[in-house]
Structure 1
Amino acid sequence: MPSSGLVVSDTSPLLNLALIERLDLLRTQFDDVTVPHRVWDELAEREAGLEALRELRDNDLLSIVEVEHSDLFVEIFHELDLGETAAICYAVEHDADLVLLDERDGRRVARRHDLEITGVIGILLRGAKVGEVDLERELDALREVGFWISDDLYARALSEARE
């Protein structure tokens, strides 16, 4: 059953799910995913996965929003790129229930602002726990498209999926 809370995403989780053709997991896990316009621009710069992402947008699963350049935005932008900054600012300012982030620096900043975080591996893990995902196959697919996963994280994810 999809979560109905506010979910805000950065570029990487969406792009990587698109690259391994698992955007379907967003629909099964969330009612809606909010994407700052800057994140959408980053996604649209790439050909890979763009058609599937447009379909999610056109079917109202992805909501694209503007993010004001507030004092918080300026503060965070000193540490992160525009997409991550916009996602975290929107999440903080709208009391998001979950933020989809993969990059370490972005996660650090999000935790500093008490945001709940998951990333592409967390989404796959959720799917594995309900039988929608062969986690090992999907982790291998992520590695094949260039997503770096340490051997330790790979093993921990597989172990957690078996619990």
Structure 2
Amino acid sequence: MIVVADTSVILNLCQVGLHPLLKELFEVVYAPIEVAEEFDRITAAYPLFGGVTFPQWIQVLQTSHSLENRAPWAQLDRGESAAIELALEHQADAVLLDEQQGRKVAEALGLEVVGILGVLFRAKQASHLKLLRPVLDDLQNRSRFWLSARTREKILQLADET
């Protein structure tokens, strides 16, 4: 399975030390140059992410075109736009995105979208994680990852952790 990742999924998994899950779950993980640059800017600017480094095994590629050529109506940041465009160009099986607007654009363009919760759920199903609850706690506490109480309960219910 080939996936293209946006910054937030990589950054938050790195923050809690679970970025190797991407390598374990997916055959190939690509990220556009814009995502790697955004990752570096965030880790340099926010002490919360100090010491977090971009995984060297993620293949950083440049897109051939801008998403604006394909979807001029999409109002996304550079990283999300590039991730969606790269996923389309490489016919990826999925794009890893968390932001709602990016997810809507990717789905409208026919891409499968998997967010960080989807990655964690797949990891639990594949026995790479024993429990989701402590991981969600870690994400919320260490990364300041926002998760509504309703969504948290729903994912825990799906994972048989209620």
Task: Give the unaligned 5+ runs of structure 1.
Answer: none
Q: TM-score normalised to the size of structure 2?
A: 0.86
One-letter code of the match for 1:146? R
Q: Which residue in 1 is equivalent to 2:52?
A: 50
* Residue 109 of structure 1 pairs with residue 116 of structure 2: no
Q: Deviations over 1:18-76 (max 9, x none)?
A: 1111112112101221000000001112143533x2xx31xxx3100011344x33545
1:162 partner SS: coil
Report the CA distance between 1:89 and its aligned residue: 0.8
Q: Which has the higher mean CA deviation after the structures are superposed, 139-148 or 7-16? A: 139-148
Q: Secondary structure at the match of 1:110?
A: helix
What is residue 120 of structure 2 aligned with on the other side?
A: 124
Deviation readout 1:135-157 (Å, 9 max, x if unpaired): 00011111112111011110111
List gaps (5 residues or longer) in structure 2.
none
Amino acid at match of 2:83: A
Residue 139 in structure 1 maps to residue 160 in structure 2: no
Distance in 1 separating the partners of 2:116 and 2:62: 23
Match of 2:8 in 1: 12
Confirm or deny that 1:160 pairs with 2:155: no
User: 2:2–2:29: 8 Å Cα contact kept in structure 1?
Assistant: yes
Q: CA RMSD in A?
A: 1.8
Count of aligned pairs between the two proteins? 152
Shift in alpha-carbon separation, 1:16–1:77, aligned structure 2, 3 A: farther
TM-score (norm 1): 0.85
